[in-house]
Every structure is written in C-alpha cells, then in structure tokens.
A and B are shown apart, each in its own frame.
Chain A
C-alpha cells in the first residue's frame, strides 16, 4: 500500500497526540508550502530527505508518438528531486543491494504510473 497524507495524519495523531484536525492541517500545509515555494521559483531543501530543485528546459523537437507528426516541445520549467545522503543510504539497504535481489518488490515501484 502506498503511503498517503491520511497515513501521515494518522501517525501524528497516534504518536504525537495532535488532534485529527490539527494533524490534517499540518500535513496539508507542509506539502502546500513546498508546492508554493516551487511555484514561486524557490528551491526546497529538506536535509536528510532531499532537495526539490527547478530546471528550465529550452524548447526541443518532439514527435506525436501516434501520428509521427513533428511538434516542438515548448520551453518549460520542471521540478526535480535529488534524494539526500541519508534517504539514499536507507533505500540502498533495501533488497537488491545484496548480490541476488530477493523477491521483486511488491507493488512494482519501478513503474511510475501517474496516480493523479
């Protein structure tokens, strides 16, 4: 099961004793503030976890994969995430660092389906 904001809210309620309203507001505000910062053009650094940075990409040629028609991909600004040392180290410790990866990960984390 993927971790969601509801799970984070629940944990703040159970472990820190915030009431559910406060916990939910806090989780919502945290992600909203990170998003607002990025929209303003500000990078966000969460030490130990990672940095969200912005990249400005210039226009480049593209193609409609269905029709083969050439269409330029317009210049755009994109968000990139660079995991911090601590996060990388803890993820590397997960199966697969050792010679023979155990069971392939459940839920196939490699396929990044857009769940929006």
Chain B
C-alpha cells in the first residue's frame, strides 16, 4: 500500500533558479537560467546515448529496458505490436533516501536496507 504524498507543494525549475540566483548574486540571472538548462540538457543527452548519471549523495539515473509486447488500440481493441524500448530510471542515493525518510520517521533510520 502506498499513497502519493498529499502535499501539492511543489518547487519548479524557475523557483530553483531564483534560489541559485540568491546564492550567487554575482551571476546574471540569464546565466543562471542558461546554466540550469545546460545541465538538464547534458543529463538528457547522456541518458539518450545510453550513459548513466551518477550524483553522489543524490542518486543515479540509468536506463531500464522494456521488452517488446503486444499492446492494444484503445479505440478498436485491435492488438498492436509494440517494440522494445528504454525508459529513464532514477535510483535515489543513500543520503537522499535516508534524509527523506528521516523527515517523517526520525526514529527508524536504522531499518533502512543498504
């Protein structure tokens, strides 16, 4: 059993850019914007050529293979062959996993599997 967290509080890319801008006020806002876009583009590029991404303390991104399968046209019900494909996968790193869990379960941080 799991539930999607109820908070709809969300941080967006532009809010992150504002935080970055406050932390490095010497940089023009345009450069912060461009830097964040460049980082995300580089990450996308990396995954789309089959390379992993590894951010210590944060997590790693890799590709998972989805084998070919028979799908269905939802309108007609006709079977449609779908070819295999790769999908991006994120695995949270230890520090992220532990800190996120500790934020709701301060006592059970020792029950984490490694």
Contact = CB atoms under 8 A, between A and B. Distances in A.
A88 B11 CA distance: 21
Main secondary structure of the interface of B (DSSP, over half): mixed
Interface string A22-38: 11011101110111011
A109 interface: yes
Interface string B4-30: 110111111100100110011011000
A46 B35 contact: no
B24 A96 contact: no
A16 B104 contact: no
A3 B91 contact: no
Nearest to B54: A2
Q: How large is the interface on A (under 10, 10 to 19, 20 to 34, 35 or more residues)?
A: 35 or more
Q: How large is the interface on B (under 10, 10 to 19, 20 to 34, 35 or more residues)?
A: 35 or more
A81 B96 CA distance: 13
A90 B11 CA distance: 24
A5 B55 contact: yes
Contacts of A99: 83
Contact of B88 (A5, A87, A105): A87
Nearest to B99: A39
Contacts of B93: 114, 116
Interface string A82-116: 01001110111111111101000111011010111
B9 A94 contact: no
Contacts of B20: 26, 29-30, 33
A88 B16 contact: no
A53 B88 CA distance: 15
Given A15-B38, A57-B2, A94 B60 contact: no
Interface of B: 1-5, 7-13, 16, 19-20, 23-24, 26-27, 31-32, 34-36, 38-40, 42-44, 46-65, 83-97, 99-101, 103-105, 108, 111, 114
* Top-5 shortest CB links A-B: A81-B90, A54-B5, A2-B52, A3-B46, A109-B62
